[in-house]
Amino acid sequence: MASGTTLNGKVAIVTGAASGIGRAIAHAFADEGAKVVVTDVEEEAGELVAKEIADRGGEAIFRYCDVGERLDVRNLVCAAGEAFEKIDILVNNAGIVAGGDFLTLEEEAFDRVIRTNLKGHFLVGQAVAQRMVAQIDEGHAPGTIINMSSINAVVAIPTQVAYAASKGGVKQLTEAMALALAPYGIRVNAIGPGTIQTPMAGNVNDNPGANKMLMSRTPLGRIGQPEEIASVAVFLASGAASYMTGQTVYVDGGRLSLNYLAQPPVKPKSGDRKE
C-alpha cells in the first residue's frame, strides 16, 4: 500500500524498470503516491513489477519500449498520456554493459551500449521534455527528468570501454538538457551509482576475490542496495530538490573520494554495542 505523499498525484515513467535499480525506483515512486509507467524490453518481468505495485495498492501500467528505437519511444509517451493524461517525472534508467578489452572490442558491441545507454537517454528525454513543455502551456507544473549515470562517468574500467563512454556522455547530456530546459522550469539531474547489488553487477558477495576487490575501493565497506538509489531518485523528483538542476549525485559509498585502498570497516566489539 502506498504510504507516502511526496509524489502524490504525479505521473512517472521509469525505463529499465523490470529489475534492479529501475524496479526499486518504480516501487519507491508508487509508495510515495505516484502513478508509474513501468517500461522495459523484458515484458514478463516488467508486467510483474506493475502487478506488484498494484497488489500493494499503487497504480501502474507496463509498456514495452526499446529506448533506442524512436517509434517505441513515441508510442511510450503516447501510452503514458492516454493512461494518465500527463507526465511529470522521467527516470532514464535503461542501460546495458558489454565487457571486452579495448583492443579487441567489437564495433557492434560498442554501438549497442551507446544506443541504449546514451542515445536512449536522448530519445526518451527529448520526447518526454516535448510533452512536458506542451503541458506547461496547458497549465501543468513543469516536470523533472532524472538520468542514470555512474561513477564510471568519472573513473574508467579498461574492460568496460563502451559503458564508461556512455556514462560520461550521460553526465554531459544531463548538463546540456538542464540548461536547455531551465527556461521552462523543467529540472534535469542525474544519479551516479557505485557498485549496487543488481543483476547487472552479479552476485559479487559469493565471489570472495571480487568482493575483496570491491571492498578495497569502497570506504563504507559494503555494496549498495537498489533501494538506496531509489531514495535519491524520490528526493530529486520531489519539491525538496526544487533548486537543483544540472547536477549528478554520486551514491557510491565514498569511492570517488578515495585515493588509496580502503581499510575494512571497524566492527564494534560486542561490549561496545549499544542497544
- pLDDT exceeding 90 applies to what percent of the chain? 82
For 210, half-sphere exposure in the C-beta direction (CA atoms, 13 angstrom radius) is: 10
Would you tell me how many other CB atoms lie within 10 Å of the CB of residue 266? 7
**What whole-number distance in Å separates Cα of residue 163 and Cα of residue 155?**
11
Compute and round to an integer the Cα radius of gyration of the chain.
Answer: 19
Active site residues: 163
pTM attached to this predicted model: 0.91
Q: Per-residue pLDDT tens for 226-261? A: 999 999 999 999 999 999 999 999 999 999 998 777
Give me the helices (H) in 38-152, please: 43-55, 70-84, 107-114, 120-137
What amino acid is encoded at 138 in this protein?
E
Is the pLDDT at 264 greater than 80? The verdict is: no
**pLDDT (0 to 100) of residue 214:** 80
**pLDDT (0 to 100) of residue 261:** 74
